[in-house]
Amino acid sequence: MAKQYETVIGLEVHVELATKTKIFCGCSTAFGGEPNTHTCPVCTGMPGSLPVLNKQVLEYAVAVGLATNCQISRYCKFDRKNYFYPDNPQNYQISQLYLPICRNGKVEIETENGKKFIGIHEIHMEEDAGKLIHDEWEDCSLVDYNRSGVPLIEIVSEPDMRSAEEVIAYLEKLRMLIQYLGASDCKLQEGSMRADVNLSVREVGAEEFGTRTEMKNLNSFRAIARAIEGERERQIDLLEEGKKVVQETRRWDDGKGESYAMRSKEDAQDYRYFPDPDLVPIVLDDAFLEKVRAQQPEFREEKMRRYQEEFDIPAYDIEIITGSKHMADIFEATVALGSQPKKVSNWLMGETLRLLKENGQDPEDIRFSPEHLAKLISLVDSKAINGSVAKEVFEQMFAKDVDPEKYVEEKGLKTVNDEGALRKTVEEVIANNPQSVEDYQNGKEKAIGFLVGQTMKAMKGKADPGMVNQLLRELLTK
């Protein structure tokens, strides 16, 4: 009988923090500036420059630590990780090795076998590197230091995961917590959340861990799941052939669906870590921790419970809406403006999700404001526009956050509520469609639908279909 293998997985997750400025200088962290425009002597490693810690980074790191049930170090330090590479202007990265800010945490995930805790070994703060651009035409490399010094936290899990599903559940949980904290937008594609997978296999029942590899370049949940499956199979094949797994770093090529070795443990660099003498030790007092604790938001589980009590919307809607802090914020703000929860939920669950899917976007990408959604709902409620016009307006809102009132006004989309004008059109439709009229009068209920459609068409959509229906019946039964 074939041997049964168990996969053992631990994750190193890098999260880019949503601070306005960099970790050790006042430069902007905004995306998309011209190369080397968000830079200063500090983040370009000029001689004589010195780092000063951005306090917001510390607050975010502690907030994530508290949300993941970590012990917060009352005394921590930054260390230098020394290695030569041009994306790293000082040729050392300021990180934390010896005394990280958070330790010994855990998060709960849902698995097919029920709830499970994944241990957090540590969370540390560090700076991001710049970006190298290899110009093949000119045969040279250029460096852009705009990202150099952008704050990161690295969340190192214990090797507690046993499948790709657990890994995804853990990542989704982390993403949810961090998004709820507002500490990061956690977008894998854009690199604001990056995961390295440490994976080994062992025979079921074995006590010892197998030799692990580290997989890099995973920028979607799908890539992570595929890389885990691929690596598990690769390692099992090696063991089945009587070969050994080599401890190494591998790069996942999602296009080819395979990984290749980047460097083995033997080539591993000696980073010569030591405490950065330019930064003083950080001592956290009770007041600081209390302040961060007091700022902790309502997390998803609490929010779901509250929605169940406060709003009359289906459990499924609650799950989807609270699945994104951003979407939940829009929901609550729109309801606070007086819109009926069920109607708000319908717009989010229906048109919003449809358009997000069409555009390949996440709920975090929703750009319309709660004010505009509330206005749209109120336009429908007051029958100023009908349902199909509302969808058209919503698409504009979704794309450009237009003000629905103004848009309806400018495009002349308001429903004609003047009964005189409507009656005239209905009478014309009746006169022009004798066959349908006859059908209806002979008991074919469906014919009324055709007549409503004809009337709406003649009114260029600007009529309330309910009212048209009523008027038709009234005139036809005379």
Partner 1 sequence: MELLDMTAVSLAAAIRKKEVTAVEATEAVLSQIEKSEDKYHCYVTVDREGALAKAREIQKKIEAGFEGPLAGVPVAIKDNLCTEGLPTTCSSKILENFVPTFSAQAVLNLQNAGAVILGKTNMDEFAMGSTTETSAFGVTRNPWNPEHVPGGSSGGSAAAVAAKECFYALGSDTGGSIRQPASFCGVVGLKPTYGTVSRYGLVAYGSSLDQIGPLCKDVADCAAIMEIIASHDLKDSTSMKRDDTDFTKALKEDVKGMRIGLPRDYFGEGLDPEVKEAVLKAAEALRDRGALVEEFDLSLVEYAIPTYYTIAAAEASSNLERFDGIKYGYRTENYEGLHNMYKKSRSEGFGPEVKRRIMLGSFVLSSGYYDAYYLKALRVKALIKKAFDEAFAKYDVILGPVAPTTAPKLGESLSDPLKMYLGDIYTISINLAGLPGLSMPCGMDSKGLPIGLQLIGDCFQEKKLIRTAYTYEKARGVFGGKGEEIYGKAI
* Interacting residue ranges for partner 1, rule: CB under 8 A: 41, 44-53, 80, 82, 84, 86, 89-92, 143, 270, 272-274, 277-280
Closer residue to partner 1, CB minimum distance, 272 or 354 = 272
Nearer to partner 1, 243 or 272 (CB): 272
Nearer CB in complex with partner 1: 145/180: 145
> Which residue in this structure is represented by tokens 């009529």?
463
> Residue 75 or residue 446: which is nearer to partner 1 going by CB?
75
Query: Please, what is the minimum distance in Å from the beta carbon of residue 390 to partner 1?
Result: 54
Nearer of residues 51 and 230 to partner 1, judged by Cβ: 51
Distance CA 414, CA 35 (A): 48
- How near is the Cβ of 79 to partner 1 at its closest, in Å? 10
DSSP 59-71: HHHHHHHHHTTPE
For 199, the enclosing helix (H) or strand (E) is strand 193-203
Block residue for tokens 């890994």: 167
Nearer to partner 1 (CB atom), residue 50 or residue 421: 50
216: left (phi over 0), alpha (psi -120 to 50) or beta: beta
- CA-based end-to-end distance of the chain: 83
Q: Minimum CB separation from partner 1 for residue 136, in Å?
A: 16
Q: Which is nearer to partner 1, 95 or 352 (CB)?
A: 95
Q: Whole-number minimum distance, CB 127 to partner 1, in Å?
A: 14
Task: Give the strand pairing for 151-157 and 114-127.
Answer: antiparallel
According to DSSP, the residues that pair with 253 across neighbouring strands are 258
Minimum CB separation from partner 1 for residue 266, in Å? 13
Coil, strand, or helix at residue 95? strand
CB-based contact 91:83 (threshold 8 Å): yes
Nearest distance from C-beta of residue 75 to partner 1, angstroms: 15
Q: What is the dihedral of CA 279, 91, 26, 29, to 10 degrees?
A: -130
Minimum Å gap between C-beta 8 and partner 1 is: 26
Comparing CA positions, the residue from 320, 326, 386, 325 lying closest to residue 354 is: 320
